[in-house]
Amino acid sequence: MTAQNTVLDSYKLSVGGVIIDVTIHFEPEESVPVYTLSILNISKTTSVILNKLREEFISKVSIGAIDIGEEHSAEDIKEKFKEEIKLLIEKYFPNIDKRTSDLLMNHVIQQNVGLGNIELLLKDQNLEEIVVNNADENVWVYHRTHGWLKTNLKLSSEMRVRHYATLIGRDVGKEITPLKPLMDAHLLTGDRVNATLSPISSRGNTITIRKFADKPWTITDFLKAGTMSYDIAAWLWLAVQNELSLIVSGGTGSGKTSALNVISNFFPPNQRLISIEDTRELTLPKQLHWVPMETRLPNPEGKGEITMLDLVVNALRMRPDRIIMGEVRRKREAEVLFEAMHTGHSVYATLHANNAEETVVRLTNPPIDIPKPLLTSIGLILVQSRNRRTGKRRSLQIAEIMPDSSPHVFIQHNPVKDQFVEVAKPTRLYEILQLYTGMDVAAIEKNLAEKKNILKWLVNRNMNDVNEIGLVMSKYYTGRLKL
């Protein structure tokens, strides 16, 4: 095998009993590795018969023998078609057993109803993004290990791309039309979807799916992957325990929401938490007193919109101890959040900014434009980053806010050595903790060391289930944790 055809990775997926072989390799004419899907446990003869079955099935749909009503969701349509497909399978495979029949039925449904081959990609937990740029171009994916890859899949037409976007929107009460050619939505599985129609996207219709992790990130995952150091994790835990507000900033795809989910591992079980997101991404331990809330776009008549501001204002009427906000974007939202901080609520939010200094600049300039003196309500800023060359995500900086509202970075990531370096000692954090807890510097250091030992205990036992960690934290806060 030449270097040009080197296989970088290979593994198998099982989708409705159908075994899919995934190979990631270089091809001579391609500038990036190619992600190839192939079905293993369906023979060539069976494939020929399946294609005939598929043609008959499509012709029945075309002439109206099988009705697809606009009111039906993709799941409704799948259930509706199962009996029809079963009859066709029995026609072509009269002696088939139930297991094989179910396998073929699932395959036909996957190929012809819902999102077709895109659904195969959705089953691959190694993928973070699935991107359709147009019908002329192969589908692209972003792989956790290998970055951007071109697949061997292509959609048949621009109408097919638009049909998939319409189907996704219909399931969640959203629409995409020539008059409304942009759509933000989500799949029923929680995966975020953005779609655009031509000519707004000049080369064709697009669909971008950001996959929702089946298993939420935990502090154990971050520590084992080297995303965060034990020192940073211990400071975050200490800040959360003592109800300091936190801002998680970073660029697109840097892991801000994942970091927010990790910080949520440290919440005590005896407080009421309200989370506010455009699309549900957070998954908190079941032991917590947690109320998740989502925004809503207006309906086609322009009514029924629920904005982030609506939910922030409403959350303050729900007696929250802590408010978790997906992302700060606008002035009014930020004003209400900072008012909440001043009235004794702990606030946790994300922000698009690449470092601690830029976080302060973003918060104090339009469109957010918060008066600089209000920033002292923030206890810590955590900055997440992603190295686009290596794909590694790291906590770039952790900083405190000084009395003059400037950021003071005290731990920073060194990308050359891939190490976390203590670049200074925190000062205001010690003062705040001394004032409100009575702990002196020695007691704070002892507390941090204790937390690092517990975190190492979690990692050594590979305890990375969010509910399992929630139980450990519950025992810790109630004095029942025995290592």
Distance between CA 169 and CA 296 in Å, rounded? Answer: 13
The superfamily (CATH) of domain 219-477 is: P-loop containing nucleotide triphosphate hydrolases (3.40.50.300)
Cα–Cα distance between 350 and 329 in angstroms, integer?
A: 9
Query: Could you tell me if residue 250 is left (phi over 0), alpha (psi between -120 and 50 degrees) or otherwise beta?
Result: left
pLDDT digits (tens, 9 = 90+) for 194-246: 999 999 999 999 999 999 877 889 999 999 999 999 999 999 999 999 999 99
**Quick check: 168 and 193 in contact, CB under 8 A?**
yes
Share above pLDDT 70 across residues of the chain, in percent, rounded to a whole number: 91
Least confident of 40-49, 179-188, 232-241: 40-49
Asked if the model's pLDDT at residue 479 lies above 70, the reply is yes
3-state secondary structure of 279: coil
Give 392-437 pLDDT, tens digit per residue. Answer: 899 999 999 999 999 999 999 999 999 999 999 999 999 999 999 9
Task: Spell out the residues 6+ positions from residue 235 whose beta carbon is closer than 8 angstroms to its own.
Answer: 380, 398, 411, 426, 429, 448
Q: What is the pLDDT of residue 424?
A: 97
* Distance, first Cα to last Cα, the chain: 52
How much is the mean pLDDT over the chain? Answer: 89
Helices (H), 22-73: 44-62
pLDDT on residue 93: 78
Compute the residue count for the chain.
Answer: 483
CA–CA separation, 388 vs 254, rounded Å? Answer: 10
Between 384 and 68, whose confidence is greater?
384
Q: Which single residue is written with the structure tokens 């975190």?
A: 455
Nearest to 104 by CA among 156, 38, 41, 29: 41
Q: What is the pTM of this model?
A: 0.80
Q: What is the C-alpha separation between 280 and 326, in angstroms, rounded?
A: 9
Within 10 Å of residue 161's Cβ, how many Cβ atoms? 23
Query: Which pLDDT band holds residue 38 (cuts at 50, 70, 90)?
Result: confident
pLDDT tens figures, 305-320: 999 999 999 999 999 9
DSSP 229: -
Please check the confidence at residue 9 and state whether its pLDDT lies above 70: yes
What's the confidence (pLDDT) of residue 1? 40
Window from 279-283, 323-327, 346-350 with minimum mean pLDDT: 279-283
